Amino acid sequence: MPHGKSPRHQRRGRSRSGRSASEPDVADSREPDIANAGGPVRLQKLLSAAGLGSRRGAEEFLRTGRVTVNGNVAKLGDSADPRRDVVEVDGERLAREPLAYWMAHKPAGVVTTLHDPQGRPTVVSLLPDRIPRLHPVGRLDYESTGLVLMTNDGALTHALLHPSLGSEREYQVTVKGEVDARVKGALENGVVLEEGRTAPGKVGRIVYDAKAQTTVFSLVLVEGRNRQIRRSLLAVGRPVKKLVRIRMGPLRLGKLARGKARVLESAEVEALHEHARNLQAKRPRSRKPGTRKPGTRRPETWNSETQKPATQKPATRKSGTGKPGTRKRVPRGSQRDTSGSSR
Q: How far is CA 77 from the centre of its chain?
A: 20
Average pLDDT of the residues of the chain: 79
98 burial class (0-12, 13-18, 19+ CB within 10 angstroms)?
exposed
The confidence score (pLDDT) of residue 339 equals: 46
Rounded CA-CA distance 288/291 in Å is 6
pLDDT-derived band at 28, boundaries 50, 70, 90: very low
The confidence score (pLDDT) of residue 59 equals: 85
Query: Measured in Å, how far apart are the chain's first and last C-alpha atoms?
Result: 114
The confidence score (pLDDT) of residue 198 equals: 93
Marked catalytic residue, from 25, 141, 153, 180: 141
Q: How far is CA 164 from the centre of its chain?
A: 7
Answer whether 0.95 is exceeded by the pTM: no
Q: Mean pLDDT throughout 167-186?
A: 96
3-state helix, strand, coil in the chain (%, to 5): 20, 20, 60
Quick check: 322 pLDDT over 80?
no
Check if 180 is active-site: no
Q: pLDDT tens digits, residue range 203-258?
A: 999 999 999 999 999 999 998 888 999 999 999 999 999 999 999 999 999 999 99
Domain spanning 101-282 has what CATH number?
A: 3.30.2350.10
